[in-house]
Structure 1
C-alpha cells in the first residue's frame, strides 16, 4: 500500500515521499480503514519538522486525521460494519491507503455529511468546540482571538455565533477583513491599521472581554492579553509565528489575568464520553445546517505531496488541503 513517510526531520515538501508498506491487519478491538481523504494540519507539518510536542521515531509515517471506510474488523468489534464511513482524528500515520485504528475512537459519519467535510470533522472542529468548553464561555461573553482567518479562527467565530458568544477576530492584513466578511464572519479587525485598538473598543462597546485565544505567539500574544478585562483568561492555542509569547507583566498583574495552555489531544483524553458525544453531535448538526462551514482549498494525490504542502502554506488560503489515496 502507498504511504507518505519521511526518513529525516525537515521541511515537509522536501522530506515527504511515497513508500510501499505492507497492508496492516487489525488486532482485537481494532478495524482497518481504507482512507478516502485526509487533511493537512499545521501540527502534522510541525511533527514532520520535528518541532511538535510529539516526535516520532524515524522513518516515520505522517498525518493524524482521515475519513475512511471500514475494510476489516478485528476480534471483538461489534459496533461497526464493513463498508461503514467513519472519521478518526487521533490515528497517527493517516496519510496512507490503509490504516488500523481503535474501534472505540472512531466517529460514525451520517450520510448527510459530504466526504470533504467528514474528512476534517475531528481535529480542528472538535478542538475548537472543546476550546469553548475549556474556556467555559457562555452566551453573551466576549472572546478575542488572533489568527482569525485560520481554520480554527473561522470555526471559533462560527461556533461562537451559533451559541450566542461574541467573538472578535484579529488579522494581520486589511484584506483579511474582507475575506472573512465574504464568509459571513463579522467583528474582524486588522492590526495593520493604526486605530485597530479603538476599533475593538467600538465593537465591544466597552463590554468586558473575558477570554483571549493566542494562536500566533510573539508580540501578538501580548496584543490579545492587552484587550482582556480584569480577571480575563489568555489561552495559548498555537505558535504560528513564534514559540515565545511576549506578554507584559503589567497586564498580567494589574488585570489579575490567568494564562493557560490548551493542547486538544490532552484535553480530549480527560473528557467524559457523554460530553464528547454531545459535542460531536453538535458539530455534525452545525455542519449539516450550514452554520459551521468546512471549506476545502484543494485535493491532491499523495504522489503530489510537495505541491499539497505548498498549497497548505499559501498565505490567505481558505479551507483545508486534503490528500487522496
Structure 2
C-alpha cells in the first residue's frame, strides 16, 4: 500500500518519501477503515515537514492535514458511519496514505452530491473561516474586514459572514477580483493601495469595524489598521507575505486595538470543528460555497506534485489506486 512518509524534519524535497507500507488491520470497536480518495498538499503541510508547525509526530510518519475518503469497513457497534459513506478525515488522522484507520465518532459524513475533490478541502480553510468569523460576538449588520480575501480562507469568510448576517470589507491585490468576490457575496472589495482605508470609510461612513482578519501580515497589516475602529480585535491567522507581524504599537494604542494569533487546533476551538465541517459541507452542497479548484496528481507522483506546489499553489493528491 502506498503512503508518503516524513522521514526527518527539514527540507520537504529531501524528507518526504513515497513508501510501500502494510495495509491497516481490520477496524476494532469504535473505528472505521477508510480508503483515502484525495488529500491536499498545501503550504501548511510543508510547515509540518519543516518542524515549524505545532504538530510534531514521531518519525517516520505519514502526514497530511486534511482529506476525504470512502468508508471500507467499520468496527463492532459503529452506527454513525457505514461502508460506502464519503467522510472527512478528522484532525489527528494523517491523510497521506491509501488507507487509514480513524475514530468513527470523529468522522463527518458528507452528501454524495459533493465531489470527492471538493470534500477533501473542507476541513481546514472553511473551518478556519468559520472560527475567524466567530472570533468576536458581533450583532447582525456588523462589519468584518479582511485581507487575503481571494484566498481559500478569505472566500469562505465572505460566505460564513453572510450566513451570520455580517458584512465584509475585503482587500485584494488585483482589480479583476473585485467583481468575482462581489458575486460571491462580498459587500465591499477594494484593491490594496495607500488610500484603501479612506475609500472604505467613504462607503461606510462612521460605522464601527470591530473585527479584522489578517492572513498576510507584514506591511499589509497597516491597511487593516486603517479600516478598523476604536476597540477592534485584529486576528492574525497567516503570514502569506513571509514577513512577521510587526504593527506599529502606537497605531494599535491610538485605537485601543487588541491583537491575537490564531491556530484552529487550539483546545478551545476543537469542539466547534464537527459543526463547522457539517455547515461547510451543507454550503457546498447548496452551491453557496465553491472551493477553489486545485491541480490533481497521483500520490505516486509526489515529487512532481511538490514541485508544482512550489510554483503554482495548492495540489490534490489522488490516493485511490483504482482510479485511472
Tell me the TM-score range normalised by the shorter chain.
0.7 to 0.9
CA shift digits 1:212-262 (9 cap, x unpaired):
111122232343233211110011112223462111212222212211222
Question: 1:69–1:85: 8 Å Cα contact kept in structure 2?
Answer: yes
- Distance in 1, Cα, partners of 2:225 & 2:28: 48
Partner of 1:298: 295
> What is the deviation of 1:14?
4.6
Matched, 1:321 2:315: yes
Q: SS where residue 36 of structure 1 aligns? A: strand
Partner of 1:106: 107
Output aligned runs, 1:254-293, within 5 Å.
254-266=254-266, 269-271=269-271, 278-293=275-290
Output aligned runs, 1:38-187, within 5 Å.
38-174=39-175, 176-177=177-178, 180=181, 185=186, 187=188
Partner of 2:224: 224
Q: Structure 1 pair 269/146, CA: closer, same or farther in 2 (3 Å)?
A: closer
Question: 2:37–2:318: 8 Å Cα contact kept in structure 1?
Answer: yes
Once the two structures are overlaid, the 10-residue window that deviates more, 253-262 or 4-13, is 4-13
- Structure 2: any 5+ residue segments left out of the alignment? 320-324
Question: 1:174–1:190: 8 Å Cα contact kept in structure 2?
Answer: yes
> What is the deviation of 1:2?
0.4
Q: SS where residue 65 of structure 1 aligns? A: coil
Q: Structure 1 pair 158/270, CA: closer, same or farther in 2 (3 Å)?
A: closer
> What is the deviation of 1:59?
2.2
Partner of 2:322: none
Q: Structure 1 pair 306/225, CA: closer, same or farther in 2 (3 Å)?
A: farther
Q: Structure 1 pair 312/200, CA: closer, same or farther in 2 (3 Å)?
A: farther
- Distance in 2, Cα, partners of 1:235 & 1:208: 17
RMSD of aligned residue pairs (Cα, Å): 2.5
> What is the deviation of 1:127?
2.0
Partner of 2:237: 237
- Distance in 1, Cα, partners of 2:65 & 2:175: 33
Question: 1:171–1:190: 8 Å Cα contact kept in structure 2?
Answer: yes
CA shift digits 1:25-54 (9 cap, x unpaired):
234422111101112233212111221122
Q: Structure 1 pair 73/241, CA: closer, same or farther in 2 (3 Å)?
A: same
- Distance in 1, Cα, partners of 2:310 & 2:166: 30
> What is the deviation of 1:97?
0.1
- Distance in 2, Cα, partners of 1:110 & 1:224: 37
Q: Structure 1 pair 276/216, CA: closer, same or farther in 2 (3 Å)?
A: closer
Q: Structure 1 pair 243/27, CA: closer, same or farther in 2 (3 Å)?
A: farther
> What is the deviation of 1:179?
5.8
Q: SS where residue 158 of structure 1 aligns? A: helix
- Distance in 2, Cα, partners of 1:235 & 1:194: 21
- Distance in 2, Cα, partners of 1:72 & 1:298: 30
Partner of 1:10: 10
> What is the deviation of 1:138?
3.5
Q: SS where residue 240 of structure 1 aligns? A: coil
Question: 2:2–2:300: 8 Å Cα contact kept in structure 1?
Answer: no
- Structure 1: any 5+ residue segments left out of the alignment? none
Count of matched residue positions in the alignment of Structure 1 and Structure 2: 318
Question: 1:6–1:61: 8 Å Cα contact kept in structure 2?
Answer: yes
Partner of 1:252: 252
Q: Structure 1 pair 175/37, CA: closer, same or farther in 2 (3 Å)?
A: same
